[in-house]
Structure 1
Amino acid sequence: MSSFSSQSNQNNEEMDINSTSLIPLHQTSTRKRLDNKRETICIFGTGDFGRSLGMRLLKSGYPVVYGSRDPKNTTLLPSGAQVFSHVEALNTSKIIFLAVHRENYEFISALSDQLDGKVLVDVSNNLKMNQYPESNAQYLSQLAPKANVVKGFNTVSAWALQSGSMDASSQVFVCGNDNRSKQLVMDVARSIGLTPLDQGSLLAAEELENYPLQLFPMWRLPLYITAGLTVFFFLYYVVLKVIYSYVVKNTDQTYLIMISIPNHIFPIVSLILLGLVYLPGVIAAFLQLYRGTKYKRFPDWLDRWMLCRKQLGLVSFAYGFLHVFYSLVKPLRYASYWSQVNYIVYQVQKNTTSELKMEWAWRGDLFYAFGILGFFVFCLLGVTSLPSVSNTMNWQEFRFVQSKLGHVTLLLCTAHAAVLGWNRFLRSTMYKWGLPPGYMLSMVIPCIVLILKLILITPCVDRTITSIRQGWERRRNDSGNLKV
């Protein structure tokens, strides 16, 4: 009897050790697999985004449950997902993704009690910026005050979720008032291959909802500047090349609009934009030198200008590339072929030959050498602007390429334009109707930048600027005298 009792107690202890639900020893491996199973995710909304999100979650090992007004309509949902009514779906999960428009939020009020303590993720966007007085997430928190509302996933498209994070932006911005709830949502984002970024409290939801509606916000100013310069110089060269020839020489040169005039516009605009990339830097340096401190904000226009330097540089590089391409095509034109043949016929008729002029030979070789070297270094600048390349460089390397090599690029490209002009700026015939050639206008800003930079790199000025950027300040005492 005592032997049986001892054996029974041993079996009970064995079962208690392995599980509180009395799972036998041979089922422990099955229980471990259940413990590793991901938590069920609930999605309200069966539209494009809801289906794409569910498909991505299923591929990552999450059980997915949809809450729908019509649970019988399951034809478009991903295979493996379950569909219940809203109340039934809420009972299966702690995290609920709300993938419906704000106009359809009314049913949430009736589910307020069931949402108590649950994480409600708002993924909605609006049709226009600041469409409502408050953000959608803040409005949702009013409808479901017992839920922990988190804004997130609204910057990721349904296409990105379907195609994978390598084909689109993988960043997920998340904000909310409850840190634990935000962490749960961020864990889900990481689990499906996305990169979550904590943006703070729910007050940031309005900014997150406006973000997808912005069309290239950092590119607007550079594109406006580029468009203005392009239109201006196009009209400028139409006057110099087409209208002037028609009025003065009575010749039709409208065909120049297709190749020749663009091949003048592209390098001019590219050089001006490249100068605009480095001009705010030297302005900021002289402003710090004048103030004697770095602890004062720059003017708003200078801040905005400096923030879009990368975009200005990339547009400049694109125009420079077009200039190279157009220059290679230019000799293949019929007009160029005709002028060469006509010159040869002229020499045959006159029974004369042209001698090699060393000045023109040097000028041509210098022109192409500066152009090739300038474009090569420009390509290095463009490559290092790519995130995949810049992320592998330390701060010193990136500064060396973008600053020092950048100014070398500006110098080479300016020399390329100067050799093109050579001494033609001294000839009055080059100023048609008193207008200077376009290459002269393109050199104004780059020359200003190079002269100012030359002043800044002189030892005495450079030491002062370096000291200011390291925290040194020049102050004035009450009598107005300078004080360190």
Structure 2
Amino acid sequence: MSEEVKPDSVLLCSVNTATVPRHELLCIFGTGDLGRSLGQRLLQCGYKVVYGSRRPGGCGPLPQGTQAMNHEAAAQHAHLIFICVHREHYDFLEPLAPQLKGKVLVDVSNNLKKNMYTDSNAEYLQRLIPGAHVVKAFNTLSAWALQNGPADANRQVYLCGNNAEAKQAVTETATKLGFSILDRGSLSAARELEDFPLQLFPGWRLPIRLTIGLTASFFFYLLLREVIYSYIVQQKDMSFRIMVSLANKVFPIVSLILLSLCYLPGIIAAFLQLYRGTKYKRFPDWLDRWMLCRKQLGLLALAFASLHVLYTLILSFRYYVRYRLAAHTISQIRENKTSPFDTTIAWRTDTYYSMGILGFGFYLLLGISSLPSVSNALSWREFSFIQSKLGYITLFFCTFHTYLYGWDRFLYPSTYKWFSPPGYMLSLVVPTVVLVLKLLLLLPCVDRSLTRIRQGWERTDPEEESTKSLLR
């Protein structure tokens, strides 16, 4: 055993620290899940690891090849120390200030909620140990992510600190672990980094609220038309249709509208650039936020389209459908009637199903291409082609599918129960507007002007041009 190992330490495996370079021997304060996962990952990447613990002999199972000792002894063995303990337990570090002077302390802690303290954990640690160099890093990674490596988790590690050399040491360690580094500047950015793990779908709030609003609105609208109207006017109890029939009308309606809302902001932005004659003016804040959440809107639209497909597949197994089919067949037999084959209806239904299948197939392609692992493997032109060109084709197929569903129903007065249009007609408003506006943008004269503007050309105001001429 090396002479450097203290008598109050526990040796889990022979570690000759005298022969290990300082930068390859790392220390971890804390033997919890995160500390053990981090130590295991460091061992796999060729580092030697020592643990600092309050109870070196009773800290539980640690990765094979590591050494556990008290905090004071562990701090003397490494220049870079990971602080894997919660803020409320930082008090034990203050007596260790002489041993920690000049060392790099990597704070990986997080809080249970935002604004628990007036300052960040890393800034508090820096005040507690002023002679050390505190770097905030690795706090956005879970124990699972560290244990399984960057192949199954986010490859990005955020860090911040006041000392450039300390940040460089942490950067080299993170890079060797297989992660990429994003430097957020000085230690004052630590509060922002500590808030990252506490965020709950920040980019999904607006899309989810919009989806819930649309779903609830169309559900109650169709409930009024399909169930309440039948009960009051026709004296029929159609409440059983709520679970499947009503849901299978709400899902495609919401899905089509959400898909349209993915492409409507891009069209508005294009007309805004044409109106302004330049691309260098900022879009309004509401349009900017709308464009930033298009991916989330598309994924929610895909989820509702998938539910529509699943609900459609079970229609033939429903008791109500089988009962109506059997009653219709028996009625024809009793009356000795035969329904003639209608080629028009056959073409309509086959085209209706084909458009639905093609639309959902392209839907899936759009969803798959939005995955980070797939989009990172695509060039910008490939990604743009799938999301833009194929996206509009998807919208066209789904819109045409809905038009074929309605067919000529809009001509019959019985369709407008309580003078209200059916749900499918309302769902066609936004996608039809989007497709018509897109066709206008594809006109050669319009497309040519828009392309020039997006390449940097600016339309000059006549008054401004005359002023420039006079100044010359």
| Aligned match of 1:88 | 73
| Aligned match of 1:174 | 159
Q: CA deviation at 1:41?
A: 0.8
Is 2:319 aligned against 1:334? yes
Q: CA deviation at 1:475?
A: 3.5
| Aligned match of 2:450 | 465
Give the letter for the 2:58 counterpart: N
Q: Distance in 1 between matches of 2:125 and 2:131?
A: 11
| Aligned match of 1:415 | 400
| Aligned match of 1:98 | 83
Q: CA deviation at 1:94?
A: 0.3
Structure 1 residues 483 and 319: alpha-carbon distance in aligned structure 2, compared to 1, 3 A threshold: farther
Q: Distance in 2 between matches of 1:190 and 1:437?
A: 58
Q: CA deviation at 1:289?
A: 1.2
Is 2:360 aligned against 1:375? yes
In the TM superposition, 1:147-296 aligns within 5 A as 147-296=132-281
Q: Distance in 1 between matches of 2:378 and 2:156?
A: 22
Q: Is the 8 A contact 2:23 2:79 kept in 1?
A: no
SS of structure 1 residue aligned to 2:181: strand
Q: CA deviation at 1:111?
A: 2.6
Q: Is the 8 A contact 2:251 2:304 kept in 1?
A: yes
| Aligned match of 2:11 | none
Q: Is the 8 A contact 1:121 1:152 kept in 2?
A: yes
Scaled by the length of structure 1, what TM-score is found?
0.88
1:300-340: CA deviation from partner (whole Å, max 9, x where unpaired) = 11111111111111111111121112111111111111111
| Aligned match of 1:50 | 35
Structure 1 residues 157 and 342: alpha-carbon distance in aligned structure 2, compared to 1, 3 A threshold: same
Q: CA deviation at 1:284?
A: 0.7
Q: CA deviation at 1:96?
A: 0.6
Q: CA deviation at 1:68?
A: 2.4
Structure 1 residues 88 and 305: alpha-carbon distance in aligned structure 2, compared to 1, 3 A threshold: same
Q: CA deviation at 1:144?
A: 1.8
Q: Distance in 1 between matches of 2:51 and 2:364?
A: 51
In the TM superposition, 1:303-452 aligns within 5 A as 303-452=288-437
SS of structure 2 residue aligned to 1:218: coil
Q: CA deviation at 1:214?
A: 0.6
Q: Distance in 2 between matches of 1:55 and 1:406?
A: 44
1:366-419: CA deviation from partner (whole Å, max 9, x where unpaired) = 211211221222222122112222222211111111111111111111111111
| Aligned match of 1:13 | none
1:70 pairs with one of 55, 76, 79 = 55
Q: CA deviation at 1:276?
A: 0.4
| Aligned match of 1:122 | 107
Q: Distance in 2 between matches of 1:170 and 1:282?
A: 34
Q: CA deviation at 1:127?
A: 1.1
| Aligned match of 2:44 | 59
Q: Is the 8 A contact 1:476 1:483 kept in 2?
A: no
| Aligned match of 1:18 | none
Give the letter for the 1:299 counterpart: P
1:128-158: CA deviation from partner (whole Å, max 9, x where unpaired) = 1232222211222222222111111101111
1:431-470: CA deviation from partner (whole Å, max 9, x where unpaired) = 1111110001111111111111111111111111111111
| Aligned match of 1:15 | none
Q: Is the 8 A contact 2:279 2:453 kept in 1?
A: yes
1:56-92: CA deviation from partner (whole Å, max 9, x where unpaired) = 2233332211222333333333333222222221110
Give the letter for the 1:143 counterpart: L
Tell me which moved more, 121-130 or 352-361: 352-361
SS of structure 1 residue aligned to 2:74: helix
Q: CA deviation at 1:296?
A: 1.4
Q: Is the 8 A contact 2:23 2:80 kept in 1?
A: no
Tell me which moved more, 52-61 or 40-49: 52-61
Scaled by the length of structure 2, what TM-score is found?
0.91
Segments of structure 2 that go 5 or more residues without pairing to the other structure are 1-15
SS of structure 2 residue aligned to 1:217: coil
Kindly report the root-mean-square deviation, in angstroms, between the aligned alpha carbons of the 2 structures.
Answer: 2.2
SS of structure 2 residue aligned to 1:249: coil
Q: Distance in 2 between matches of 1:336 and 1:481?
A: 74
Structure 1 residues 296 and 424: alpha-carbon distance in aligned structure 2, compared to 1, 3 A threshold: same
Give the letter for the 2:76 counterpart: N
Tell me which moved more, 192-201 or 428-437: 192-201
Q: Tell me the number of residue pairs that the alignment of Structure 1 and Structure 2 aligns.
A: 453
| Aligned match of 2:4 | none
Q: Distance in 1 between matches of 2:283 and 2:191?
A: 28
Segments of structure 1 that go 5 or more residues without pairing to the other structure are 1-30
Structure 1 residues 42 and 308: alpha-carbon distance in aligned structure 2, compared to 1, 3 A threshold: same
Give the letter for the 1:474 counterpart: R
Q: Distance in 1 between matches of 2:312 and 2:278?
A: 47
Q: In percent, how many aligned pairs have the same letter?
A: 57
Give the letter for the 1:367 counterpart: Y
Structure with the greater alpha carbon radius of gyration = 1
Q: Distance in 2 between matches of 1:395 and 1:166?
A: 23
Give the letter for the 1:123 counterpart: V
Q: CA deviation at 1:480?
A: 8.6
Q: Distance in 2 between matches of 1:291 and 1:132?
A: 47
Structure 1 residues 71 and 383: alpha-carbon distance in aligned structure 2, compared to 1, 3 A threshold: closer
Q: Distance in 2 between matches of 1:36 and 1:130?
A: 40
2:97 pairs with one of 112, 128, 145 = 112
SS of structure 2 residue aligned to 1:196: strand
| Aligned match of 2:286 | 301
1:94-136: CA deviation from partner (whole Å, max 9, x where unpaired) = 0011111112222333333322221110001011123222221
